Structure 1
Amino acid sequence: MRTALTAIAAIALLAACGTTEAPVTEQAPAPAGATSAAAAPITVTDARGKQVTLDRPATRVVSLEWGETEILAGLGVMPVGAADVKGYGTWVTAAKLDASVKDVGTRQEPSVDSISALEPDLVVMESDDEELAAQLEKFVPVLVAKGSDASDNLKRMRDDVNMIATATGRTDAAAKLLSDFDAALADGKARLAAAGAAGKPFIMADGWKQGSTISIRLFGKGALVSEVAGQLGLTNAWTGKVDGEWGLGTTDVEGLSGLKDPDIRFFYNASDGEDVFADGLADNAIWKSLPFVKKQQVTKLPDGIWTFGGPLSCQQYADTLVKAFTA
């Protein structure tokens, strides 16, 4: 995710049972004997197609992306180190980190020395930095996750969860995590249908301001949270051009003017406190003329729902959609 979001961040100063509400989990490291695999060699094929062999399930793991950090914590494997721990605390609340987790630098430029000092038995990262992976593999096995795939992002997320779970001996925990997620989606879909909201249109966005210019990033076809909403039975009203990896597209406020359906609900993320929609567009005539603005059908996500996260963040997102459409 570093390549995709670094470019955006340079412009944007930014980098998404029986109920859809995902509880915030505070997982401690798995105790001895709690893994679902014996302490025997494990071979996992990662997103590079590379076979990664471990002498035993990894317990001292360093994670270099927030999505994988959330997955580890959600599986009950507290990483010994993670990239941008402070930022994770701002943008990701679905699986909190212990105070013991060491910061190993930014997601864009993690410190190899800081990682090495923790003596990890596994580093988990995403697939956009071959040079970094090669540096790390001189002293530790590296497991590369896909991070995003707009051709089928929910399957990709499941694959990442199962891959990381296999490497850490937490396959039973992964099965429960994904089962709970599926149950929450099914429950949310049923609640929306009962409320007459099946098929209703939504938009998901975030945004940033540079000088007097406000840019808007839309989560279109193939974005992870778009697929979550689709599983709930909702319809993405944004059909503009998106990239093939993340399912993201950009526009300005004028680009939203064609969205005339009065049923559209507009959702956005501004966990860092910079709310360009409530503040930067407050006096913008085009923004104020949009049907979903005039009808007060604009919802800011609760702070800390990571739109590029794992099952727990996705469940938080689903819960927010269901609440808005059934209120």
Structure 2
Amino acid sequence: MRTASRTRPTIALTAIAAASVLLLTGCGTTEEAGAASGEAAIVITDDRGESVELAAPAEKVVALEWNTAENLVALGVMPVGVADTEGYGDWVKAEALDDSVKDVGDRGEPSVDAIAGLAPDLVLTTTDLSESVIAQIEEFAPVMVVRGADASNPIGQMESNLERIATATGHEAEGEDLLSGFHENLADGKSELEAAGLSGAPFMMSDSWATGGQVSIRPFAEGALLTAVTEELGLENVWTGEGDADYGLGSIDVEGLTSVGDVEFLYIANGETDAYQNELAGNAVWLSLPFVQSGNVHRLPDGIWMFGGPSSMNDYIDAVVTTLAG
């Protein structure tokens, strides 16, 4: 398996992120100039179109979505607080939190009091969090809001999120290294799949869950981050159903898979909650599907966060290549 040069410096910030970041310079460093003049040293435009002003690179950061927390750790910044630390530990294996990180409640309903008690320099969240909660937090700390995902540009949004977090924390060089490693890993993975005769192979990506014995399937349509990454690896997505405008996700039941032929069927589960292996084990419709009959159902390793940053995407690339070509 490749060791992907994930720490080699190459690319600078993309034009999109560079345009959104304004460093106010004067005598000395930008941080010193800001501190001396009383002006913000760093100004970043977030995905609300709001200017987030920081007197210096943020050191005490709270992350209210797992992709922002993952990016912080990958950049070398351990957050002081994260929403649902237990869930993060279950679902995000690429970048581990240490024991110092405080749990600040649920991702959708964080504890404003717990966040305030940490006296953060910056709070990171996504557009999935309600504006009312964001407004409460902004009474005591700057908040940078990034879009959790964008189905019109999934990889670009992931990169832009990382770049702005890197700028806000003063870790631009580390951010460039992470993106360089991600693109090198993509190129290496594509070469390995091509060498295995899998270039252009049809695939479908999904996850699923069961409630009261009923199985719901979530196809990753065009615009989903994992779909885009898999296509960059040289495989061809066969799922033509529509996904939502942010995450590119659809919703079907098992009968909805009957239009899918013999493909490489990739999916992610977590622990024992595997609806394909459990609830559908004896389902006649599931057992009749061509990819099931040919043995092309591939559960990828646990802990790959499907909506994460470059670190999780590197784990995903490695898993796909190992599973299909290893």
Shorter-chain TM-score tier: 0.7 to 0.9
| TM-score, normalization by structure 1 | 0.88
Amino acid at match of 2:132: E
Amino acid at match of 2:317: A
- Whole-Å Cα distance in 2 between the matches of residues 216 and 121 of structure 1? 40
Amino acid at match of 1:117: G
State whether structure 2 residue 97 is matched by structure 1 residue 115: no
Match of 1:98 in 2: 98
Contact 1:91 1:272 in 2 (8 A): no
Match of 1:12 in 2: none
How far 1:273 sits from its partner (Å)?
2.6
How far 1:294 sits from its partner (Å)?
1.2
**Higher RCO by CA contacts (8 Å cutoff, separation 6 or greater):** 1
- Whole-Å Cα distance in 2 between the matches of residues 22 and 249 of structure 1? 32
How far 1:130 sits from its partner (Å)?
1.0
Match of 1:85 in 2: 85
How far 1:300 sits from its partner (Å)?
1.2
Match of 1:167 in 2: 168
Deviates more, 1:287-296 or 1:49-58: 287-296
Q: CA RMSD in A?
A: 1.8
Unaligned runs of 5+ in 2: 8-28, 35-40
How far 1:324 sits from its partner (Å)?
2.1
- Whole-Å Cα distance in 2 between the matches of residues 255 and 292 of structure 1? 14
Aligned length: 297
- Whole-Å Cα distance in 2 between the matches of residues 147 and 273 of structure 1? 27
Q: How does 1:142-153 map to 2 (within 5 A)?
A: 142-153=143-154
- Whole-Å Cα distance in 1 between the matches of residues 213 and 121 of structure 2? 48
Match of 1:127 in 2: 127
Match of 2:15 in 1: none
Assess, with a 3 A threshold, how the Cα gap between structure 1 residues 20 and 324 changes in structure 2: closer, same or farther. farther
How far 1:267 sits from its partner (Å)?
1.3
Q: How does 1:1-327 map to 2 (within 5 A)?
A: 18-19=2-3, 38=31, 40=34, 41-128=41-128, 129-260=130-261, 262=262, 264-327=263-326
SS in 2 for 1:313: helix
- Whole-Å Cα distance in 2 between the matches of residues 210 and 37 of structure 1? 54
How far 1:243 sits from its partner (Å)?
1.1
SS in 1 for 2:73: helix
How far 1:323 sits from its partner (Å)?
1.4
Amino acid at match of 1:309: G
SS in 2 for 1:95: coil
- Whole-Å Cα distance in 1 between the matches of residues 213 and 101 of structure 2? 39
SS in 2 for 1:193: helix
